[in-house]
Structure 1
Amino acid sequence: MAEDFEQRLVELETRLAFQDQTLAELNDALAEMRREVARQTDLLRRALEELKQSRGALYADPADEPPPPHY
């Protein structure tokens, strides 16, 4: 009976060790994904800002432009 108990204890400790390792790996993967999402968010924010600037240059208010030289 003590041998059976010891075998179960070893099996539980082994499972716990594997679960701890898996949890650490998942935590690392989650941290990496959060960094990637932050990087993608920053890239998207910059791209949108550049698009707004480009649109502003393309669709400038004609009243703000100087008259052509022949006027």
Structure 2
Amino acid sequence: MAGTDAERLEALEVRAAYQDQVIEDLNQTITAQWREIERLQRQLGRLEDQVNESIAAAGSTNQPEPPPPHY
């Protein structure tokens, strides 16, 4: 019976070690994803600024374009 308990204890220790590694891997993945999301948000902000600057430089208003005369 002691051998069985030792085997069970060893199995639990192996499982805990495996779960610790999985948790660390998931944490690294989530951290990398957040960095990527933040990078993309900054890039989107810069693109929005560029579009707004282009619109302002073209002298365009944010009014919808009127339909062509043949309508």
Structure-2-length-normalised TM-score? 0.82
Do residues 38 (structure 1) and 2 (structure 2) align?
Answer: no
Number of aligned residues: 61
Do residues 29 (structure 1) and 29 (structure 2) align?
Answer: yes
Residue type at the aligned position of 1:4: T
Mapped partners of 1:27, 1:15: distance in 2: 18
Q: Which residue of 2 aligns with 1:68?
A: none
Residue type at the aligned position of 2:44: L
Do residues 17 (structure 1) and 20 (structure 2) align?
Answer: no
Structure 2 stretches lacking a partner, 5+ long: 62-71
Deviation at 1:60, TM superposition (A): 5.2
Mapped partners of 1:53, 1:21: distance in 2: 48
Structure 1 stretches lacking a partner, 5+ long: 62-71
Of structures 1 and 2, the one scoring higher in RCO (CA 8 A, sep 6+) is 2
Provide the identity percentage. 33
Q: 3-state DSSP class of the match of 2:8?
A: helix
Q: 3-state DSSP class of the match of 1:4?
A: helix
Structure-1-length-normalised TM-score? 0.82
Name the Cα RMSD after superposition: 1.2
Do residues 4 (structure 1) and 12 (structure 2) align?
Answer: no
**Which consecutive aligned stretches of 4+ in structure 1 deviate over 6 angstroms post-superposition?**
none
> Quick check: which has more Rg, 1 or 2?
1
Mapped partners of 1:42, 1:57: distance in 2: 22
